[in-house]
Structure 1
Amino acid sequence: MSLLVHQIGPACTVQDQGRTGYLDQGLSRSGAADQLALHEGAALLGQGPDCAALEMAGMGGMFEATQPVSIALTGAPMQANIDGSPVVWNASHTLEAGQRLTVGAVMQGTYGYLHAKGGIDAPLFLGSRATHLTAKVGRAVQAGDMLPTRPHADNVNMKLQPDERFAGGTLRVVASFQTPLFDQDTLDRFTRTVFRRGARANRMGMQLDSDGVGFAAKGQLNILSEVITPGDIQMTGTGNPFILLPECQTTGGYPRIATVLPCDLPRAAQTPAGGQIRFKFVTMDEAVALHAAYLAELARLRARVEPLVRDPHEIPDLLSYQLIGGMISATE
């Protein structure tokens, strides 16, 4: 009742929605970098979004089913096949016992997700199955591991039109505690600047690069460390912005120029290296309305799921299908 891992890329971890309520003990939320992908996988498999999935950073792996299992693939599109036959991304499929799913390199974006019916049954820790590498909670998945799943073969061959969020774009932000420390000229330049996601990026955060001088706040050396959350944009001593992600530290003293809205964090996390990002300030009232619309869209995901029509050329056992069921004799 599991997926046997034959090959696996680096930094692939089991993730769910993360654990909350432990910031005062120095433990940040962790959880999937792209929370929307969790909801998409849940919709495709007809289950709750609290189920754990495998998060694949840039590269997937090869997985063998030990029992029939329903799977779904969401997030950043990756090359994928079952026993050599290509399969559609952002869709659900059946793995029969002994079949192998191969997930290759990412084609766009950063994080892809492998879901299983019933979720990946990793151990619970403080109410979550999420791996938190920086806190040494769990570890990255390795070749030879068994990913416990439930044997299922229903709710398969479904698809869902993905939300396009894998090439960067505009991130909406609200003012943070230290935003007033940045003068208006600096804030205006911040929103006019086209940033590029730099090479320094992981589940803790991602550095942004830009042309021209960096960004600095007045009196930033006197800022006391205080609580920070995913989405906060810190300005380092070099003037480069860092967008904090699920495994960010719980406190920090760098000035925060703004905070990315939770509904835009999937787009931020999925921006590939070199992808362009811009920022747009919105009011708190606008942010609340945007978040409410995002939650409503999540609730509608299951209604958007539709049957996946397979290409006959990609079905190796085509002759085993009953293709003329329901036909009647012309003489009757």
Structure 2
Amino acid sequence: MLSEPLLTDMRTLFSLYDNSHHRLQLSEVHGKRIWGSQHGWVVTLGPRYVTQLVHRIKGKRINLPPLCTIRRQAPREEWFCLVHKFILLKDPSYESTFLVIAIFGPMDSLAFTRVALNRRRRGKWVVVPNPENLKFKDVAHINGQIYALCDNGKLVRFEPVAPSANMVQVQVIADHPQDVGAHLKIYLVESLGNLYGVFRNGFLIPSERRFETTSFFVYKFNFNASAWEEVTHLEGHTFFVGDSNSFSRRFPTSIIPSISDCIYFTDDHWVWRKFFRKAYGGHDVGLFNMEIRKILPLTFGKDKPRFYSRPIFVTCNDRL
């Protein structure tokens, strides 16, 4: 989904299957920052700090709890930068329920809430205790467990066993990969029952007010050895990272022979804000081919990111 245009609630969707463009009226997300997921839903955050789940096709909206608790911990953040990332996971403990994760504030803190799709009652945001001052970067779900990637690649297990902060458990599983250096962004991706740490490199171009990604390094977590192991291919899968859920997909090679073993990425660098309410960044979009280790462009044409709106990945999935 490309950035929001001016003076209209029509959004352009660029298909990775056939490089086609589709126009869709999405008044439910107009004027808001949005995060995509692989479940057919997006999370929205508006100027008045109202958050919702919105189904991209059906237009159904579900209000999330007020962000009062989160706002108290980050009172100086602009509304569209209050939450760095919303992550939408199927709750392993409850059927027809989402676990909505928020990474927010200057310390990359973590909070969560549960949303039952067949109920109107809203819960509350629970801020996860963080005595070790971990900086949370991404969250993924595998084998009934919730894992988070912190700091420069430290892996922790996150157990939201009850809707109360004093019942939440965070357990450190492993340190960062031994040979990993400083990276712009890191992501946690579940694929084929495995966990992958995706490390994104690049640099800032101040004169153009944008970032540019140059490469990715990928590590697979070995649960038996409790250690990260670098990999050079993705076992035929494709990874998607950026301002959305981090996820993987396998595409039939008869349909898209060149899409496997690639990392598709969108611009999620929101930390550099020199000009208030001005467009900055948003153009760092493309794919990284793991075999030839090169960044390639996506041919979606012109896109004009706004100060709160950038391209995101969305999928169609009506099963939940």
Q: TM-score, normalised by structure 2?
A: 0.24
Would you tell me which structure has more helix in proportion to its own residues? 1
Would you tell me which structure has more strand in proportion to its own residues? 2
Structure possessing the higher relative contact order (Cα contacts under 8 Å, 6 or more residues apart): 1
